[in-house]
């Protein structure tokens, strides 16, 4: 199943779009969408150095060129591959989430995750997934 998350145009070019998903065990996790030159990538919103450290604190990630910069110790993750070539998390890779872009819209297509709501996991006062189209 694919669930509409947002449109590509709503993802800031110099930041990220934050949303929350629910795993099969009912746990919620945050996901970030970031723009690529030719599309969009999606990653779990935590650093590989300290996994309780969020990359997007609610205001969008810090980006430098084609890298996501961890706000805590500055590890730099490639926006396309998720690979960290620089900083304390060097050699690690962000956890990828499957998304698909169709006609300028971003859909969550990860079999293990269900769309929960826009924003971070503690902002669950927005209407549920009923407001999001599925196909």
What is the binding site for ligand FES (CB under 6 A)?
47, 49-50, 53, 70, 72-73, 75, 87-89
The residue to which tokens 């145009």 are assigned:
9
Tokens at 111, concatenated: 């079999």
Indicate the residue among 31 and 87 with the shorter CB distance to ligand FES: 87
Report the nearest approach of ligand FES to the CB of residue 92 (Å).
Answer: 10
Indicate the residue among 72 and 132 with the shorter CB distance to ligand FES: 72
Overall size of the chain counted in residues = 135
Report the nearest approach of ligand FES to the CB of residue 50 (Å).
Answer: 4
Burial of 131 (0-12, 13-18, 19+ CB in 10 A): exposed
Indicate the residue among 80 and 88 with the shorter CB distance to ligand FES: 88
Report the nearest approach of ligand FES to the CB of residue 90 (Å).
Answer: 9
Indicate the residue among 31 and 89 with the shorter CB distance to ligand FES: 89
CA 113, CA 103: separation in Å to the nearest integer? 22
Report the nearest approach of ligand FES to the CB of residue 22 (Å).
Answer: 25
Which runs of consecutive H residues, i.e. helices, occur in the chain? none
35 in Cβ contact with 68 (< 8 Å): no
3-class SS at 54? coil
């Amino acid at each position: 199943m694919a669930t509409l998350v947002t449109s590509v145009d709503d993802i800031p070019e110099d930041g990220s779009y934050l949303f929350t998903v629910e795993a099969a065990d009912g746990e919620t996790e945050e996901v970030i969408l970031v723009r690529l030159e030719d599309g969009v990538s999606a990653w779990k919103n935590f650093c590989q150095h300290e996994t309780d450290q969020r990359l997007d604190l609610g205001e969008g990630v810090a980006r430098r060129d084609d890298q996501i910069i961890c706000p805590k110790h500055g590890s730099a993750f490639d926006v396309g591959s998720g690979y960290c070539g620089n900083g304390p998390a060097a050699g690690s890779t962000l956890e990828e989430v499957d998304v698909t872009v169709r006609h300028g819209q971003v859909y969550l297509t990860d079999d293990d995750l269900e769309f929960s709501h826009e924003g971070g996991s503690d902002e669950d006062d927005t209407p549920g997934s009923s407001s999001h189209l599925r196909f």
